[in-house]
Structure 1
Amino acid sequence: MHTRRRTALASTLALLAVPVLAACSGSAEDDVRAAAEAFLTAWAGGDTHAAADATTDPAAATALLDRTAADLPGATLHTDLGDVAVDDGAATVDWTATWDLAAAPDWSYPATLRLREADEGWDVVAEPTLVHPELGAGQHLVLQRELPERAAITDADGSPLFTPTEVVDVGVDPAQVTDLPALAAALSAATGVAAEEIVADVQAASPGQFVPVITLRRPDFEAIRAQVYDLPGAVFPTATRLLAPTARFASALLGRVGPATAEVLDETTEDGVPTYAAGDQLGLSGLQRAYQQQLTGTPGFTVSVASTDQATGDAGRQVAAVAPVPGTPIRTPLVRAVQDAADAAVATQPLPTHLVVVRPGTGEVLAVSSNEAAAAGNALTGRYPPGSSMKVVTATALLGAGALTPQTPVPCPGTFVVDGREFENADQFDLGTVPFTEAFAQSCNTTFMQQALQLPDDALAAAAASYGVGTDWRLPVDVFSGSVPADSTGTTKAADAIGQGQVLMSPAQLALVAAGVASGTPAVPVEVVGADPAGPTPTGPSQQVLDALRPMMRQVVLSGTATALADRGEVYGKTGTAEYGSNTPPDAHGWFAGYRLGGPQGDGTTGDIAFAVLVEGGQTSRLAVDVTDAFLGDLG
């Protein structure tokens, strides 16, 4: 052995003892370092068998390393060798372990390997301390991740909009099912989830796997308890989730929190390292997802040493801890009273209905509402023909061109032919020749087609752009800013002028158009207070155009197509009916876009608001006006 050879040389060659000892000691240290490095490299590389073979007891080492891998799931080990000491067939190697823990901060600690000289070199001593210096016989590591409490999303007043709420996960235990079709039919009748989906999910599940059907707030579950509770195979575990005041409360904007999906986890991975883990409660949509890391914060962890024998009741001794770092809240401009009034208003309709409210001059989104029948996201990102609500933009173009004033006499025939295609007013009403204001108030399609055909082809697009239509808003939650072509001609141009043709809008963008008229300074939409501007500020129409357009929009309410709103304060607006589809007669959406100054009596109690209402398939604008009436009446 090296030590025996050094002793022999020292006794026979005294003059050369010192240099020979130095050289041989260096060789031994190199051998020890190489052995330690080989062990750690194999372990860090995931080859526990190769690492174990480099120890004094491969079987014990294999069990120890495999248990450590199970104790630290998904973790990656990085090593850094330090000092080496050799003494008469024994050696120690200092090293630093750095564990890249899955979905938790790194964990580093100093440790020491003991090695023994063997016939073929050096072996690492197989003992618990090779994993951690405080690990003893019959013990293992216990890692616990901890997420901080999720930071709040607040309303404009700073009140949190999400609170911990008890929910019931209605689901199926396949092992307890006696009649799957009957169970699926009963659950479907109670929850609205398609029976065929339930059957397919249960059939695809592994034995013992919980199959979720729907998650309900406790009051909603109690309403169906009698229908489902005794069904063989139905199970009802409970949990606590962060929820908004109601299931539909500004859901398109706020989003929701739930167990992390693979897609969401992938979004939060940095340089291939996951920030969060399956089962974590994360933002799945809306602002909750857009501000994921700011709201969620950074996980922390504790590591304890505990007995492998669970019967001992050993709770463990903590050897490391990193406190979780709380997230920081975000404040939205949502106003609870406005959102509640909007939710109540859309709930009056059985058809899919949306209502978006913004603050004129600031672009702050005060409410985003969709009823149960609607796809909530369409309030912000839906693409719909705006119908005669587009006449606000068309009137802006006509007034801006100097071709008309509100008092200019214009013809309003019942029908109008463009390139062989006949267009008509509702029920072909014919007003004869009337002031432009009257044609606007009564929503005369033929007037607007005739006049728009005299404009340059890009005039409608330019007028729309002055309100922000077509802008690529850079928002945390997408808003479709609308689309108005700049090159339409003939029948398409005529149809564009009345919000048909190729023109598309979202309820949110149409509310921003109305807000631009109200304030005279169209604003960039604001979803989060203090966020960077979502795009360039629209230029807005001239003051001369605004002075002409506002009284026209007021006349719609006083004597035109929205007189039902005449008692709701100082309301301005424009109705719209937008045909779509291929049915005969065609189906149509109903719109109302407008604004109100001050409170119901102009007393400023609620401030200026602008809004757009869409009733999908409403056929006329009447239902949209009814929703607006309910909204303003409830808001007060």
Structure 2
Amino acid sequence: MREFVKAVNDHDLAAAAAMTDDPDTAEQALTATFRGMGNATAHLSTLESLRGTLTTHIAWKLPDGNKTETTGTIGRLEDGKVPWSPHIIDSRLQPGGRLVYSRDLDLESPVIDRNRNDIMKWQTVTDVAIALDAPPGDVAALADVLHGIDQTITAESIAAGIAETEQELSASTRDAAAGVPATQASGRYVVITLRPADVDPLRADLDAIASVALPQRGRLLTVDPAVHSPALDGIPEVWRGILAESAGWSVDIDNPGHDDDVRVQAKSPEDVQNIPTTMDLEAQKAAQLAVDSATRPAAIVALTPSKGGVLAVAQNAAASARGPVALNGLYAPGSVFSLVTASAALDNADIGPDDIVGCPAQVTVDGRTVFNPDDLDLGPVTLTQAFAATCLTTLATLTGALPDGALPDTAEALGVGADFDTPGLTTLTGSVPPTEPGAARVEAGIGQGPVAASPFGMAVVAATLANGGDRIAPMLVVGKKATAADPPTTVSKDTANAVRLMMHEAVAMGNASALRDIDGLAGVAGTAEVTDRRAHGWFVGILGDMAFAVFVQGAGSSQPATDVTRVFLDALGATPDDGS
């Protein structure tokens, strides 16, 4: 008996079962219960009562650290074997039954925006799944029913999905044979997942197709189907993690043939009223409206400089086809990288915004010849005037005078190259590799060559400048700020203020003057040349407590980016400058 108890406590279920008079049944029952209990640890002990019977006591330590216990009975050894009975585990357990541990989350907790509007809620969705051996007629019928909801669904696309699922099943079967558990065994291909409002009108037609099944499950979804953002993709994991911190739990006896489980013990979850985020639904809708107005792939990222909160992240369908480009798509920033180059010069090159610099049509610096757009030649002007006019030749000259490491260090201090770990967000900010003096460094200074930035990274640059040079720590879920591996050097407050004034000048009479009627807007517009492709368009701006970046891939000029910016700000109700 002591050996049986020890084997159970060591979780050596096969050895424990072998000591019983029914090893196969005992091993199945013990295995089912331990799996049902989430492989909780158990401590079995036996006690002889005053009436001469043996009782069992199992103290369970659950996967979440909570504890419960079960009691039962155990027969005396006969012929050196333990008489097997499920009552050894619990006296209420019947043959074929098992114990089941469950986490109980407060699934009614919504995800809200900063104005306490519901963004996401737990909802029931329906998977439209078709059998892998469905006849061609059923495939065609399903395509006809679903084509009105999603025009990409055709008989051919369903057939391709079935074939891919069959290949995955075949591979998982081979893996299982090699000792790796199979990951798929449904025998069905899920064509689409629908909300109730979408599936209900189709239910009768779908039910009429013999090889189609409509299983339901819960999912955290946006309350408004029209609201979608790469920033929301990671929210379900964070939401579930927060709920788990206040989760309840239960242990039940699941007996076959009985509709109701027998409750062993339970603790109700603590009430979690909501999961607050920094997002703003109105800003998100405005950003989505703006990017949808673009004919080429476009993205917007908006942040609050004062707290680092993510206000909105939007991209149009053309951009989404390339992935979450707003958060981690890396592109040449081109002339909007002047925000970094000018900051580096102000902090490291003994120059001020009102100092006179040259802006010739072309200049050769460290072996690299740089041309201004449209042969722009302003002659001697202030640094602010050169910045506002997108004098690439000025930026190239400033870059050549920078000390080693100044450009990448300044970029990281502003946000490009920073490696943020933000709960709920997967982001890349960009890269500004250190370069030796020469053509590569000059190219970096004008946002070309080895330099790359994401729309998110450029939004962080604007937010950091608006925050007085202190790099923001991005945040999506309130109270869960980003962390970064290395603390950055900081851009001085004087430099940040000077660059912001230069951005105002660029809107007033420079490269972003198309937006000069928007009161209080500071920003810089620009293009990024790409070899053998149309130039990208950018606008990076600050308006009140909002810093944002607009990106249009292959725009050909900065105008599409400023057009998208106008739609965004108009939708937000930005006030036109009355000229006073």
How far the C-alpha of 1:590 sits from its partner, in A, is 1.3
Question: 1:109 aligns to what?
Answer: 70
TM superposition shift of 1:499: 0.9
Instruction: Report the CA distance shift for 1:437/1:103 in structure 2 as closer, same or farther (over 3 A).
Output: closer
Aligned to 1:450: 397
Paired residues, what number? 543
Q: Which residue of 34, 53, 62 maps to 1:92?
A: 53
- Report the counterpart of residue 200 of structure 1 in structure 2: 163
Classify 1:577/1:143 alpha carbon distance in 2 versus 1 (closer, same or farther; 3 Å): same
Matching residue of 2:556 = 619
1:228 shift after superposition = 8.5
Of 549, 557, 573, the match for 2:507: 557
From 206, 212, 236, the equivalent of 2:190 is 212
Q: 465, 468, 488: which one pairs with 1:520?
A: 468
- C-alpha displacement at 1:233, in angstroms? 4.7
Superposed displacement of residue 70, structure 1: 4.4
Residue 112 of structure 2 corresponds to 154
Q: Does 1:241 align with 2:219?
A: yes
- Between stretches 97-106 and 383-392, larger displacement belongs to 97-106
Indicate the residue corresponding to 2:570 in structure 1: 633
Using the TM superposition, give the Cα deviation of residue 123 of structure 1 relative to its aligned residue in structure 2, in angstroms. 4.6
How far did 1:492 drift?
Answer: 1.1
Q: Equivalents in 1 of 2:353, 2:147: separation in Å? A: 57
Preserved contact between residue 536 and residue 555 of structure 2 (Cα < 8 Å): yes
Q: 1:451 to 1:244 in 2, by over 3 A?
A: same
1:398 corresponds to 2:362: no
What residue is the counterpart of 1:82 in the other structure?
46
Partner of 2:14: 46
> Structure 1 residues 51 and 161 mapped into 2: Cα distance closer, same or farther (>3 Å)?
farther
Question: 1:246 offset after TM fit, Å?
Answer: 4.7
Judged with a 3 Å threshold, the aligned counterparts in structure 2 of structure 1 residues 449 and 239 are, in CA distance, closer, same or farther, namely: same
- CA deviation vs aligned residue, 1:154-204 (integer Å, no higher than 9, x gap): 322344421133534233223433258867987789453656741423544
Distance 1:343 1:109 in 2: 55
Partners of 1:107 and 1:464 in 2: CA distance: 55
Amino acid at match of 1:525: P
1:610 to 543, 547, 551: 547
Say yes or no: does 1:303 pair with 2:260: no
Amino acid at match of 1:147: D
Please say if residues 389 and 576 of structure 1, whose CA atoms lie closer than 8 Å, have aligned partners that are also in contact: yes
Which of 293, 302, 313 is equivalent to 1:348? 293
User: 1:207-606 maps to which residues of 2 (within 5 A)?
Assistant: 209-218=187-196, 233-246=211-224, 249=227, 251-255=229-233, 286-290=234-238, 292-297=240-245, 298=247, 300-304=249-253, 306=255, 308=256, 310=257, 314-316=258-260, 318-326=262-270, 328=272, 329-375=274-320, 377-401=324-348, 403-418=350-365, 421-476=368-423, 477-522=425-470, 523-531=472-480, 534-535=483-484, 540-580=490-530, 582-583=531-532, 586-597=533-544
Deviation at 1:449, TM superposition (A): 1.0
Paired with 2:374 and 2:158, the residues of 1 have a C-alpha distance of: 44
Cα distance in 1 between the residues matched to 2:204 and 2:18: 60
- What amino acid is aligned across from residue 553 of structure 1 in structure 2? M
Query: 1:478 Cα deviation (Å)?
Result: 3.6
Could you tell me which residue of structure 1 aligns to residue 181 of structure 2? none
SS for the counterpart of 1:416 is strand
Report the residue type matching 1:134 in the other structure.
R
Q: In structure 2, how many angstroms separate the alpha carbons of the residues matched to 1:397 and 1:319?
A: 66
Distance apart, 1:554 and its partner CA: 1.2
* Distance (Å, rounded) in 1 between the aligned partners of 2:338 and 2:201: 46
**Alignment check: 8 A CA contact 2:158 2:191 kept:** no
Could you tell me which residue of structure 2 aligns to residue 269 of structure 1? none
SS in structure 2 of the partner of residue 499 of structure 1: coil
C-alpha offsets along residues 105-153 of structure 1, whole Å, 9 cap, x if unaligned?
A: 665213231216x5x5x554455533422346x7845747353223443
Cα 1:63–1:517 shift into 2, 3 Å: closer
For the residue of structure 2 that corresponds to 1:46, the secondary structure is: helix
Specify the SS of the correspondent of 1:525.
coil
Is the CA contact 2:413–2:490 (under 8 Å) kept in the aligned structure 1? yes
Q: Give the Cα separation in 1 of the matches to 2:399 and 2:121.
A: 52
Q: 1:68–1:611: structure 2 CA closer, same or farther, 3 Å change rule? A: same
Query: SS at the partner of 1:508?
Result: helix
Residue 420 of structure 1 and its aligned partner are, at CA, apart by: 5.2
Q: Deviations over 1:45-66 (max 9, x none)?
A: 235762432xxxx4xx854763
Provide, for residues 266-300 of structure 1, a one-character-per-residue CA deviation record: whole Å limited to 9, x for no partner. Answer: xxxxxxxxxxxxxxxxxxxx243246432345462
- Kindly, what percent of the aligned residue pairs are identical? 29
* Aligned CA distance change for structure 1 residues 378 and 70 (closer, same or farther; 3 Å): same
**In 2, distance between residues paired with 1:195 and 1:111?**
53
- Change in Cα spacing, 1:43 to 1:498, as seen in structure 2 (3 Å) is closer
Per the TM alignment, residue 209 of structure 1 is displaced from its structure 2 partner at its CA by: 2.0
Cα displacement (A) at 1:367:
1.6
Counterpart amino acid of residue 201 in structure 1: E
Deviation, structure 1 residue 346? 1.5
SS at match of 2:410: helix
- Aligned partner of residue 501 in structure 1, secondary structure: coil
Q: Tell me, yes or no, if the aligned pair for 1:173 and 1:233 is still in contact at 8 Å.
A: yes
Residue 78 of structure 1 contacts residue 97 of structure 1 at CA under 8 Å; is this kept in 2?
yes
Distance 1:109 1:341 in 2: 57
Task: Tell me if structure 2 keeps the 8 A contact 1:575–1:621.
Answer: yes
CA shift for structure 1 position 99: 5.3
8 A Cα contact 1:98 1:108, kept in partner = yes
* 8 Å contact from structure 1 (residues 180, 199) kept in 2: no
Matched residues in 2 for 1:333 and 1:123: separation? 64
Amino acid at match of 2:550: V
In 2, are the aligned partners of 1:175 and 1:208 still within 8 Å (CA)? Answer: no
Point out the structure with max Rg over C-alpha. Answer: 1
Query: For residues 41 and 569 of structure 1, do their structure 2 counterparts lie closer, same or farther at Cα, with a shift above 3 Å needed?
Result: closer
Deviation at 1:239, TM superposition (A): 4.2
TM-score where L is the length of structure 2 = 0.80
Q: Is the 8 A contact 1:177 1:232 kept in 2?
A: no
* Contact 2:117 2:281 (C-alpha < 8 Å) held by counterparts: no
Provide the rounded CA distance (Å) in 2 between the counterparts of 1:379 and 1:623: 16
DSSP-derived class of the 1:351 partner:
coil
- Equivalent AA in structure 2 for residue 133 of structure 1: S
Task: Give the conservation status (yes or no) of the 8 Å contact 1:103–1:299.
Answer: no
CA distance in 1, matches of 2:478, 2:6: 56
Q: Is the 8 A contact 1:111 1:130 kept in 2?
A: yes
Q: Distance in 2 between matches of 1:360 and 1:617?
A: 29
